[in-house]
Amino acid sequence: MDVYGFIKEYFIDSIVYKEGYNPVNTMTFAAILIVAIYLLYRYLSPRVRFDLRFALYTFPYILLGSSTRIVEDAGFVQPPYSYLLMTPFIYILTFIITFAALIISLRTDYRRYPYPGIVLSLIVLAFLFTHLEVENWWVIPTALTIAATITAAYHLISTKIEADSFSKAVVFAQLMDGSTSFLGIQFLGYWELHVVPRYFISLFGPWIMVPLKLAVIIPILYILDREEEEESLAGFIKFVLFTLGFAPGIRNGLRMTFGV
């Protein structure tokens, strides 16, 4: 296999034919993500406090990226332009918008940072709800209930494990991802795109997505919440986990709601 054949099989075809992730592109995208996260942290850490407020200010941009992804899922945009709204390009596009808004707000008024994301995400959501039929209205409320119930249980033990409000938000975000994945695979015929979760689902069934999230995220948060010397780094890692939970969780929930 030549270089082009390798790239086509493991990268291009997975996008064009929506084949999901494979071990090669998973490791490649993960490596790129780690490098990008490191560079972003080095640049932003002297300028931004990575706390729950920052995460909530960024949430509208997460909503924007996830809802814009549905525009492609529903077929409103055709190839080759639709590829810009697919992974990994949708993340790059959303990052550019978010980063630009953040830098401008840091130089003007930080409190205005979320405003462009709120406006843009509401425009996209309005487009979706006026052009698509709601087929499974129960998905997002059910996922919210599952996530909120388990997060409430986590809250009850939070004082014993020294978990702060940011950690609780991270747990909720990750559970939104796990819950929507479980509901979609178990009841609506969707399938898991990512390699590792797909393996565990093949062994135990879709229900494993929720406890799998908890088994991974709670020990990480426990370590981060006990970190005193690297508070900024701990906050940034929580922010990354917050984003990586809500981004696919919202996309899954909206996609299933509209049945696309």
pLDDT digits (tens, 9 = 90+) for 193-203: 777 888 899 99
Is 214:146 a contact under the CB 8 Å cutoff?
no
pTM for the model? 0.92
| pLDDT at residue 178, rounded to an integer | 96
Give, rounded to a whole angstrom, the gap between the first and last alpha carbons of the chain. 35
pLDDT band at 211 (very low <50, low <70, confident <90, very high): very high
Tokens matching residue 236 = 């940034």
> In this predicted structure, what is the pLDDT of residue 5?
76
At 79, is the pLDDT very low, low, confident or very high (cuts 50, 70, 90)?
A: confident
Mean pLDDT of all residues in 64-91: 89
When the pLDDT of each residue in the chain is averaged and rounded to a whole number, the result is 91
What phi and psi, each to the nearest 5 degrees, are found at residue 76? -75, -25
More confident: 64 or 12: 64
Q: What is the per-residue pLDDT across 239-251, written as a single tens digit (0 to 9) for each?
A: 999 999 999 999 9
Nearest Cα neighbor of 216 from 184, 175, 157, 168 is: 175
Distance CA 117, CA 250 (A): 15
Would the pLDDT of 1 be above 70?
Answer: no
- Could you give the CA distance from residue 115 to residue 172 in angstroms, rounded to a whole number? 23
| 18: number of Cβ within 10 Å | 12
The one-letter code for the residue type at 151 is: T
- The arithmetic mean of pLDDT across residues 216-240, rounded, is 91
**Mean pLDDT, residues 9-25 taken together:** 74
pLDDT in tens, 26-63: 788 889 989 999 999 999 999 999 999 999 999 999 99
pLDDT of residue 163: 87
Mean pLDDT of 109-136: 97
Residue 216 has pLDDT above 80, yes or no: yes
Question: What does the pLDDT read at residue 127?
Answer: 98
Indicate the SS3 state at residue 25.
helix
